[in-house]
Amino acid sequence: MFQVTPAAAQQIRAAAAQSDAAGLALRVAARQIADGSIEYGMGFDTTHDGDVPLELDGLTVVVAPPCQPLLEATVLDWVELEPGEFAFIFIPPASLSGDPPAQTGGACGSGGCGSCASRGSH
């Protein structure tokens, strides 16, 4: 199951309060691109028919069914990448198992709640 760390949840709640996103869910998406890596995105959105709703650390997170397998066991975290530079990162299961993370990259959808990056196998 997709997970959100307490640090990420706190930052998402703060971003929702600052951006008039009260009442909206956090939509998380993923897609596999041509080189085999996974591109992640997130943003505040309404829930659509067929979405898979998750209640995580006090947040409502929605995932479209086609994205669900790519997000399985992925963790969304809020980390300091460089001194003073914070970002959301998506950590896929391969990175959690001890494999060295690949370079940072990723995408955020419209209505996003800050910068995001991905860390994982390419």
C-alpha separations of 57 from 2, 83, 88, 105 in Å: 12, 27, 16, 25
φ and ψ at residue 77, rounded to 5 degrees = -130, 165
pTM (two decimals)? 0.78
pLDDT digits (tens, 9 = 90+) for 54-113: 999 999 999 999 999 999 999 999 999 999 999 999 999 876 655 544 333 333 443 444
Residues forming beta bridges with residue 89, ordered by sequence position: 77, 117
How far is the C-alpha of 46 from the C-alpha of 112, rounded, in Å?
13
Contact by Cβ (8 Å): 20, 87? no
Contact by Cβ (8 Å): 86, 66? no
pLDDT digits (tens, 9 = 90+) for 1-60: 899 999 999 999 999 999 989 889 999 999 999 999 999 999 999 999 999 999 999 999
